[in-house]
Structure 1
Amino acid sequence: MPSTGTSSGRNGSSAMPTTPSHVNRQLRVICAGAGASGIYLAYRLKHYFTDFTLDIYEKNPEIGGTWLENRYPGCACDVPAHNYTYSFEPKWDWSANYAGSEEIFKYFSDFVDRYGLRKYISCSHKVVRAEWDEAKAEWEVHVEKQNGALYVQRCDFFISAAGILNSWRWPAIPGLQSFKGTLLHSANWDQSVDIKGKHVGLIGNGSSGIQILPQVQPIADKLTTFIREPTWVNPSMAGGGQYVYTEEEKARFRDEEESLLGLRKKNEATMTAAFPMFIRGSNTHAAATKVVGEEMRRKINDEALADKLIPDFSLGCRRFTPGINYLESLTLPNVKTVYGEIVKVTPEGCVTDNGEEHKLDILICATGFDTSFKPRFPIIGRDGKNLHDEWSTDPDNYLGIAAHGFPNFFMFLGPNCPVGVGPVLIIIEAQGTYIGEVLNRWQKQNIKAMEPRQEAVRDFIEHKDQLMANTVWTTKCLSWYKNPQTGKITALWPGSTLHYLQALSDLRYDDYHVSYSGNRFSYLGNGFSQWELDPSADVAYYIRDNDDGTSVLKGTMSTHNAKDTTAKLMTTRKFSD
């Protein structure tokens, strides 16, 4: 009868196999970051995999990433709250249609606790270096503890879930640090600062600045907002503004499954249908430009100011937000809108390009992040290549999840992911599923290493750039979507959200270079399948009365259902001699 012993080594062996086909190897995974991506990775491995270890290192003292770090007044997500969830984990009791950062953080924290994922996460632990060891076909990951102590850990796969909007920066304005008042950055907000009765200056009219202004205006004595360039604000996105759900509505979402599901599907379909708006010359784009422009002008209610703030560049060229109460606030009595460049900051305030000095008590910089996609720590791949250097000009990548020269390395929300045309969490799920398929194959076959082929990366980038030329994102505007060195679009997928989901559904192993340890067919084991070890299995599953459309080829025993079947599969079936 067949043996059920384990395989003879991590990387295969030339000895006679003793296990049935497709038996798992022990898998070691290290992940940098415990935001929405790292949390999903933990969920996926726990629920669909066996025989693995997972260590997620988070630099902050808590999980949550963006939603832990950003706590400025008015910080919220511009995606409807009921759709800013994992697709399988709805939340019926959101307080409003657009949720604030603290409520979103609680969603992720509750998710981690509900599914017992904290055991995989070490907070206040920062990955400072990751280096591929070619001889051992594994990653050497250097981790720094809160006390500064360093240690090294090895793994089979290293995954970056560090995100992109997490390295905030001060604006490059001369004299900024000479300001004697209170200096704040939107992404490093000091919640102890009292704004009441103060003269507040606000630099920036991107997403953060647009959210901050309506919250600060009612509290401050005076508010001066410095705007360097026009921007599109789309009040229609808010569907009439911020809407607070009643207790009755929340109860209906809780008790009537179709009510909440129907709302989520309607929201999702609306966002998905928005993609044609980003196609150059489309009727949808022309119609949207007219509607949004007219609505902005009506809400600003000041023709001279509207002429300055409504862009002449294409709608959607840079990211726009609902801008709830932003436009209306610009003309309130205690708000002064200064359109132009700040040439320097003095101890007392800001000097603009017309020579005027604006004295301030508090200066808020809503000036964004380093969005270059270059890693925040060295990631050293094959032949000593540092990903930071490899991406110094352009982040050439494969489908936003991998890079040539970096074996057994994947990333969430890498370059050219669709962060501008739909909810990002479904993209995280799609990428996690894709990565899971790779890990599953590595576990069950004696793969040593795999990485995207250089020609596959080249062809993807070429195709991406070709498609981008047809979108408004490549038109003339300043946008973090663009690489400032090359002008190429690096932060978006060249298609719709559904287009990206379909692209990841086809795992093209011919785009990868795959190397094996020993004989590539040793995973076939000792000649027996795993079904033959399960006394309850239907070993004649392929015998049917008619063609029911199912395949007679069951393929591998996927790790994705191993949790429920492992015990059965490892029960020895009795065979006669």
Structure 2
Amino acid sequence: MELDTDVLILGAGMSGLNFAIRLQQTYPSASYTIIESTTELGGTWSVNTYPGCGCDVASHFYSYSFELKPDWSQKFALQREILDYFRDVAQKHDVVNHIEYESSVERAVWNETYGVWVSDVLDKKTGTIRKVRSRVVVSAVGALSIPRECEIEGADTFKGALFHSARWDHEFDWGDKEVVVIGNGCSATQFVPILSNGSNIKNYVKPRTPAKKVTQFARQPHWLAERPNPVYSSFFKWSMRYIPLVMRMYRFWLYTDMEKDFFGFNLLKGVNIRRNLTNERLEYMKRAAPAKYHAVLTPSTEIGCKRKVNDTDYFSCLHNENMELVWDDPVVAVTETGVRTRSGRDIRADAIILANGFQTQKVLHPLDTDIKGEGGVSLDEHWQQVSNGHPQAYYGTCISQFPNFFVMMGPNTTTGHLSVIYSTECQVNFSLRVLKPILQRPSLFSLSAKPTSVAVTLAAEQNDNTWLQHLSKSLVWSSGCTSWYIDTKTGRNTMLYPDWQFNFWLRSIFVPVKRDFVYKQSLKEVAPSPSTQKSKKGSRLLWNSAVLASVVGAVGLGAGFVRGDIKVDEVDELLKRVSSEFSGVGEEVLRLLTFKV
């Protein structure tokens, strides 16, 4: 059997690109392939193109720590600028040549004999399926990738446009049209003001006139935060680019400003913080929103129980005559011409836009039944056996019985107050440390064969998740509200990491591999992939040349010392010249031989 690639990465979004770049920086001889189901890299920032789509984390912190961007246009970037950032980073690090677009992994099975994953990769353009053999599989499909479906009776009878905000229909022109919006979360808060006010912002290609009528159905109110979005000046951008450490210091300030919010999540110790925030948000809502909506815009849940929603002119658009917010009369059916509410009211609509979130409780769905680890056990079966069907993973990344399989943005890795890029970078560094014995070049003097697989133990996985759930009970997320963080059937926290993100970072550095992981050698050897062989051949030549030169040089210098032909000061001068002339070669040798994460 021959490997097709060392590492197979599922998804070319933020986490997939992150893993690929750090992989090639850390283990240059390792080959990798990225399988992307769409026609574009960028993940959520390529598929979410609704008007007003943007990030609720400051731009200078919503970026890779190894690829800072000094010229963000504003504090909270919009979708197009973020997507351009990921495109530029992928191009700079030559990741784009490793991506296979319009392809998907339909099935992945662990071959215990050879210690490899055999994946069925579908080419969506031709409909053909091929086998891809890899040493490692990395799932980077994201946690917010599958929109919730419309489960309202009669949806298939509607004659107008019906779509989810994450799959925006750009053929639909809402100008002077009647639109029904179902949902009031982060996405709706961003695009509803544009439907009501009209569009002339840079994020949207075609300027649009306001909708004739926008009727929004909401289930639960959110604690909206006032969010100014200042445009960065030319001097600010210049300072970020040219003044040493300024951009790093600004980024660190943003981190500390967001990280301190975790104080307020503690049910007991954060009472005063939440009380002050509650008063602040109430005061803002009453100042910005119409008085007729004050009662329905006041949440009954603890602040912090749901993810913070930033106000992007949402409160102010509720003053518009073409806006109606419906709170106590939910939609029970979709008709040919619109929707019908519980009270029997019929509302006409040219379009129904769903803003009802994503299937966050279905980790890796639908692949959870088609990824099979040791003994042919699927992910779904594993979770049924060890956690009553609840998704769980060690550090949200590794799953027992699934060797060489790593999940980015897995269970309990998201954050309610910081950047998901930060937590994903931690996961990537953690994974590369665990994979070090498998992907690094063997030592010149190593007598033992290196392992071919690594898996977390079941005990470690269980202990880690017992600790997670215990810690979650002391935080505001478990106070009884309904959010996408929590499994509504059990009240179990399946999404958030219940500790400081600083501690999450520490765990990515100090990994107890000897205690919690088992490394093995496969029963049979597998031939390396052609690209890996080529890379290793070049590395081996450089290595052998360096070793030979060192030995010959040492012998020559030793002989010179014995004869007295070479003096100490001459050797010192020689070393300085060698260091100056061949510093580039030396750095390359060190880069190939140290592989430090």
Instruction: Tell me the TM-score range normalised by the shorter chain.
Output: 0.7 to 0.9
Q: Does structure 1 retain, via aligned residues, the 8 Å contact 2:339–2:346?
A: yes
TM-aligned CA distance change 1:569 to 1:397, over 3 Å: closer
User: 2:347: which partner in 1?
Assistant: 358
Matched ranges for 1:251-400 at <5 A: 251-281=238-268, 282=270, 283-302=272-291, 304-340=292-328, 341-375=330-364, 376-377=366-367, 378-391=370-383, 393-400=389-396
User: 1:21: which partner in 2?
Assistant: none
- Alignment partners' CA distance in 2, 1:155 and 1:277: 44
- Alignment partners' CA distance in 1, 2:417 and 2:434: 27
TM-score normalised by L of structure 2: 0.81
Q: Does structure 1 retain, via aligned residues, the 8 Å contact 2:113–2:522?
A: no
Q: Does structure 2 retain, via aligned residues, the 8 Å contact 1:204–1:226?
A: yes
- Alignment partners' CA distance in 2, 1:470 and 1:266: 27
SS in 1 for 2:296: helix
Deviation of 1:183 after TM superposition, in Å, equals 1.3
Aligned residues: 513
SS in 1 for 2:435: helix
TM-aligned CA distance change 1:295 to 1:128, over 3 Å: same
- Alignment partners' CA distance in 2, 1:87 and 1:458: 31
Q: 4+ runs of 1 displaced by more than 6 Å?
A: 529-532, 566-570
CA deviation string 1:46-80 (max 9, x = no partner) = 22213221011111111111000000011101001
Matched ranges for 1:62-81 at <5 A: 62-81=40-59
Q: Does structure 2 retain, via aligned residues, the 8 Å contact 1:86–1:425?
A: yes
Q: Determine if the alignment matches structure 1 residue 480 to structure 2 residue 484.
A: yes
Q: Does structure 2 retain, via aligned residues, the 8 Å contact 1:276–1:285?
A: no
SS in 1 for 2:224: coil
TM-aligned CA distance change 1:568 to 1:426, over 3 Å: closer
CA deviation string 1:244-271 (max 9, x = no partner) = 2233433343333444333322211101
- Alignment partners' CA distance in 1, 2:290 and 2:244: 42
Q: Does structure 1 retain, via aligned residues, the 8 Å contact 2:148–2:359?
A: yes
Q: Does structure 2 retain, via aligned residues, the 8 Å contact 1:403–1:457?
A: yes
Deviation of 1:110 after TM superposition, in Å, equals 0.5
AA aligned to 1:105 is: L
Runs of at least 5 residues in structure 1 that lack an aligned partner in the other structure: 1-8, 11-24, 520-528, 540-560, 571-577
- Alignment partners' CA distance in 2, 1:300 and 1:331: 7
AA aligned to 2:303 is: L
TM-aligned CA distance change 1:486 to 1:52, over 3 Å: same
Q: Does structure 1 retain, via aligned residues, the 8 Å contact 2:4–2:133?
A: no
SS in 1 for 2:277: helix
Deviation of 1:174 after TM superposition, in Å, equals 0.9
Q: Does structure 2 retain, via aligned residues, the 8 Å contact 1:418–1:496?
A: no
SS in 2 for 1:82: coil
TM-aligned CA distance change 1:170 to 1:27, over 3 Å: closer
Q: Determine if the alignment matches structure 1 residue 226 to structure 2 residue 217.
A: yes
Matched ranges for 1:414-433 at <5 A: 414-433=410-429
TM-aligned CA distance change 1:563 to 1:442, over 3 Å: farther
Deviation of 1:28 after TM superposition, in Å, equals 0.9
SS in 2 for 1:106: helix
AA aligned to 2:287 is: R
- Alignment partners' CA distance in 1, 2:185 and 2:161: 21
Deviation of 1:404 after TM superposition, in Å, equals 1.1
Matched ranges for 1:177-196 at <5 A: 177-196=156-175
User: 1:556: which partner in 2?
Assistant: none
User: 1:533: which partner in 2?
Assistant: 547
Deviation of 1:143 after TM superposition, in Å, equals 0.3
Match 1:154 to one of 118, 133, 137 = 133
Identical counterparts, % of pairs:
30
Q: Determine if the alignment matches structure 1 residue 92 to structure 2 residue 67.
A: no
CA deviation string 1:156-202 (max 9, x = no partner) = 11111111111112232111222212212101111121111111111
CA deviation string 1:319-349 (max 9, x = no partner) = 1221211122123221111113211111111
Deviation of 1:534 after TM superposition, in Å, equals 7.1
User: 1:246: which partner in 2?
Assistant: 233
User: 1:130: which partner in 2?
Assistant: 108
Q: Determine if the alignment matches structure 1 residue 46 to structure 2 residue 24.
A: yes
User: 1:524: which partner in 2?
Assistant: none
- Output the aligned Cα RMSD: 2.7
Q: Determine if the alignment matches structure 1 residue 113 to structure 2 residue 84.
A: no
TM-aligned CA distance change 1:182 to 1:190, over 3 Å: same
CA deviation string 1:7-59 (max 9, x = no partner) = xx99xxxxxxxxxxxxxx99811111110111111111222213221011111
Matched ranges for 1:450-461 at <5 A: 450-461=454-465
With 175-184 and 410-419 compared, the bigger mean Cα shift is at 175-184
CA deviation string 1:264-303 (max 9, x = no partner) = 222111011111111113222222222222222322241x
AA aligned to 1:416 is: N
SS in 1 for 2:82: helix
SS in 2 for 1:154: strand
AA aligned to 1:265 is: F
Runs of at least 5 residues in structure 2 that lack an aligned partner in the other structure: 198-209, 443-448, 525-542, 555-584
With 461-470 and 242-251 compared, the bigger mean Cα shift is at 242-251
CA deviation string 1:506-531 (max 9, x = no partner) = 11111112223589xxxxxxxxx999
AA aligned to 1:366 is: A
CA deviation string 1:193-231 (max 9, x = no partner) = 111111111110111111111111112121111112222
SS in 1 for 2:452: strand
TM-aligned CA distance change 1:507 to 1:186, over 3 Å: same
User: 2:516: which partner in 1?
Assistant: 511
- Alignment partners' CA distance in 2, 1:489 and 1:297: 32
Q: Does structure 2 retain, via aligned residues, the 8 Å contact 1:42–1:120?
A: no
- Alignment partners' CA distance in 1, 2:5 and 2:36: 21
User: 1:525: which partner in 2?
Assistant: none
AA aligned to 1:211 is: Q
User: 2:446: which partner in 1?
Assistant: none
- Alignment partners' CA distance in 2, 1:176 and 1:257: 57
Q: Determine if the alignment matches structure 1 residue 490 to structure 2 residue 490.
A: no
Match 1:500 to one of 504, 518, 538 = 504
